[in-house]
């Protein structure tokens, strides 16, 4: 068949061709910049930080979207323990990304079969905590969220010389810290003494306790460092979020100018400035004040200039403080470290933010025909939204100082994509994690695994997104919103019980968490089955009435027009 394109058709195609070439060269330029200067994270680990006076109930909050697409998603509880004098704590290199087949066992057992890279003195007592890929919440209500931020390429240290990576640092912090400041100092000092890097480059941690929230950033110091160099094996800095403000880290360094004369708001390693000077990243003779992010991770894009790839930072401020009317063209380097929200945030507000897809903005992934016939926000991958379909799980932590530690600490967990999953709470005082949380991986479907229940629903939603997501939201109201509303009563009962009998309180909290998780996981398997039946063949099957609608669903007019336009554009010449 002859498919020659005439002059008129060529003119119609020209703008599309120019657009494709533009994206190619922009991408090429970004790749060159990446190779020469800064390691740019490819993932979407958004971490939100909320000060206690910026929340509705007075809790501090952190979040973490653990996205990867192939990482280990399993969770476990580590009990507290007493240790004898002279005991050693073995340190292993733990990759965020390495997994083993389920038939071989759990990652958190198997990595210990490798040789430790270091042994450090054990402390007399280690605290109980929950962890997934990182440590998230311990029995003292110390909470953590993570986001990879990258660093100047010359500072990377992929050699095995550094003993610590970000995963191990968070586990040690969970074991040993009573406050956020203590956690930061523990991680910083260990990294300085024994080195940081190997698997990891620049990383950020949101570190909170019931009173404070800190944003902690850490970088390696280059591949030539050794413990015998006499220099710190890491460079790090931490800035406290003001109690009445909120902040965010969307895979970008966030700390700007620092003032170490204000120890209530800044902490840093002793080489925080000297390391930058030695590596040509800052000139003290320039007259410019030292700026952490401009020295160590200078990614200067805006939401607009990056075509939406770097719009999460702007979008967060657009959500929490729309009154500021921050332009999406503002370079990210110029956006504030933190802001006072227009209204105080509840845990439900924060959960909803983790599901945000930038709907209604110029970066809406469903605008025009981007979302296809069913307005699916996951088709158009150019825009990087806060909600991420590749999420292994997402956490929202709460540290609440007016309650006893076992009752006050909460970590809410959502497995898989946030928009199609359900957040489930684990109390700091719970003494075990649901068994279904510790099972499964990406390559083997397992109906005993909590994560697979949510992926099962998500898969069916993708087929007919704008319709099936309505069913999911109804389930979220029943199994998530209802539990959020129930938490104050659980708190009250647990606190009263704790005052009389702490062991019984822990048993009560554990039972609540396990029973709720079992109920939700079972409900999501059933929801997946129901979605398959209801939208089978892209019809609408009404189970109660035993009828079906062959004209369902209604396709959007803009999508139908686009299809007709493309048909005309590539119509065979003979037909024209």
- Looking at residue 43, what is its pLDDT? 64
* 190-198 mean pLDDT: 98
Say if CB 475 and CB 527 are below 8 A apart. Answer: yes
What 522-528 contacts at long range (C-beta under 8 Å, 24+ apart), as own/partner pairs, is 522/453, 523/422, 523/475, 523/478, 523/479, 524/421, 524/422, 524/453, 524/454, 524/456, 524/457, 524/475, 525/447, 525/453, 525/456, 527/457, 527/471, 527/472, 527/475, 528/453, 528/456, 528/457, 528/459, 528/460
Look up residue 64 and give its two tokens. Answer: 């973490």
Hey, what are 223's tokens? 């591949």
Beta bridge partners of 66: 393
Give residue 319's region: left, alpha or beta (phi > 0; psi -120 to 50): alpha
How confident is the model over 430-457, as pLDDT tens digits?
999 999 999 999 999 999 999 999 999 9
How confident is the model over 232-284, as pLDDT tens digits?
999 999 999 999 999 999 999 999 999 999 999 999 999 999 999 999 999 99
Identify the pLDDT of residue 30.
39
Q: Are 155 and 220 in contact (CB under 8 A)?
A: yes
Q: What is the mean pLDDT of residues 1-23?
A: 44
* Mean pLDDT in residue range 207-232: 97
User: Would you state the pLDDT for residue 21?
Assistant: 46
DSSP-assigned states of every residue in 494-527: HHHHHHH-HHHHHHHHHHHHHHHHHHHHHHHHHH
Q: 449: which DSSP letter?
A: -
Region 388-397: mean pLDDT is 95
Give SS3 for 471.
helix
Q: What percent of the chain has pLDDT over 90?
A: 85
Give me the chain's average pLDDT, please. 92
What residue ranges do the domains of the chain occupy?
Answer: 41-402
Give the pLDDT band of residue 574 (cuts 50, 70, 90): low
Environment class of 103 (CB within 10 Å of its CB; exposed 0-12, middle 13-18, buried 19+): exposed
Question: What pLDDT, on the 0 to 100 scale, is given for residue 242?
Answer: 98
Task: Note the pLDDT of residue 352.
Answer: 98
Return the pLDDT at 576.
57
Instruction: Give yes or no for residue 81 having a pLDDT over 60.
Output: yes
CA atoms within 13 A on the CB side of 171: 22
pTM score: 0.92
**Residue 189 CB neighbour total at 10 angstroms:** 14
Q: Distance between terminal CA atoms of the chain?
A: 13
Average pLDDT on 318-343 reads 97
CB 204 within 8 A of CB 63: no
Sequence-ordered strand ranges (E) for 345-484 = 391-399, 410-415, 424-427
């Amino acid at each position: 068949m002859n498919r020659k394109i005439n002059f008129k058709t060529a003119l119609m195609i020209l703008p599309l061709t120019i657009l494709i070439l533009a994206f190619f060269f922009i991408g090429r330029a970004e790749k060159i910049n990446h190779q020469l200067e800064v390691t740019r994270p490819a993932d979407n680990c958004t971490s939100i930080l909320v000060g206690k006076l910026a929340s509705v109930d007075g809790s501090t909050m952190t979040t973490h979207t653990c996205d990867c697409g192939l990482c280990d998603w399993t969770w476990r509880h580590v009990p507290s323990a007493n240790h004898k004098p002279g005991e050693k704590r073995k340190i292993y290199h733990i990759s965020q990304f390495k997994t083993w087949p389920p038939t071989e066992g759990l990652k958190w057992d198997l990595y210990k079969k490798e040789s430790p890279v270091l042994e450090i003195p054990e402390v007399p007592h280690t605290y109980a905590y929950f962890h997934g890929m990182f440590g998230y919440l311990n029995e003292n209500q110390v909470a953590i969220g993570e986001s990879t931020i990258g660093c100047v390429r010359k500072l990377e240290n992929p050699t095995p010389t550094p003993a610590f990576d970000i995963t191990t640092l968070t586990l040690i912090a969970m074991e040993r810290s009573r406050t956020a400041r203590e956690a930061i100092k523990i991680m910083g000092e260990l990294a300085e003494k024994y080195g940081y890097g190997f698997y990891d480059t620049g990383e950020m941690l949101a570190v909170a306790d019931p009173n404070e929230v800190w944003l902690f950033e850490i970088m390696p110091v280059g591949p030539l460092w050794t413990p015998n160099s006499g220099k710190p094996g890491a460079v790090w800095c931490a800035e406290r979020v003001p109690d009445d403000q909120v902040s965010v880290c969307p895979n970008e360094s966030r700390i700007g100018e620092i003032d170490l004369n204000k120890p209530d708001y800044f902490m840093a390693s002793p080489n925080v400035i000297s390391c930058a000077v030695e590596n040509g990243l800052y000139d003290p003779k320039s007259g410019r004040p030292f700026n952490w992010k401009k020295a160590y991770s200078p990614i200067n894009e805006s939401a607009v200039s990056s075509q939406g790839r770097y719009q999460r930072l702007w979008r967060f401020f657009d959500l929490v403080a729309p009154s500021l009317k921050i332009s999406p063209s503002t370079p990210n380097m110029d956006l504030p470290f933190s802001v006072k929200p227009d209204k105080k945030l509840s845990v439900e507000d924060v959960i909803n933010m983790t599901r945000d897809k930038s709907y209604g903005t110029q970066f809406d992934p469903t605008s025009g025909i981007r979302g296809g016939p069913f307005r699916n926000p996951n088709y158009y991958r150019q825009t990087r939204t806060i909600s991420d379909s590749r999420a292994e799980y997402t956490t929202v932590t709460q540290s609440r100082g007016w309650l006893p530690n076992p009752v006050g600490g909460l970590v809410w967990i959502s497995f898989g994509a946030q928009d199609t999953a359900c957040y489930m709470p684990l109390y700091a005082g719970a003494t075990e994690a649901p068994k279904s949380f510790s099972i499964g991986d990406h390559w083997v479907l397992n109906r005993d695994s909590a994560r697979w229940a949510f992926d099962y629903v998500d898969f069916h939603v993708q087929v007919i997104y704008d319709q099936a997501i309505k069913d999911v939201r109804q389930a979220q109201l029943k199994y998530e919103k209802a539990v959020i509303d129930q938490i104050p009563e659980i708190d009250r009962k647990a606190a009263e019980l704790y005052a009389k009998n702490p062991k019984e309180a822990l048993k009560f909290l554990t039972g609540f968490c396990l029973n709720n998780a079992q109920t939700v996981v079972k409900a999501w398997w059933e929801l997946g089955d129901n979605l398959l039946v209801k939208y089978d063949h892209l019809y609408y099957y009404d189970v109660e009435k035993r009828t079906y609608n062959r004209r369902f669903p209604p396709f959007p007019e803009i999508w139908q027009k686009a299809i007709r336009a493309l048909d005309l554009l590539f119509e065979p010449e003979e037909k024209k």
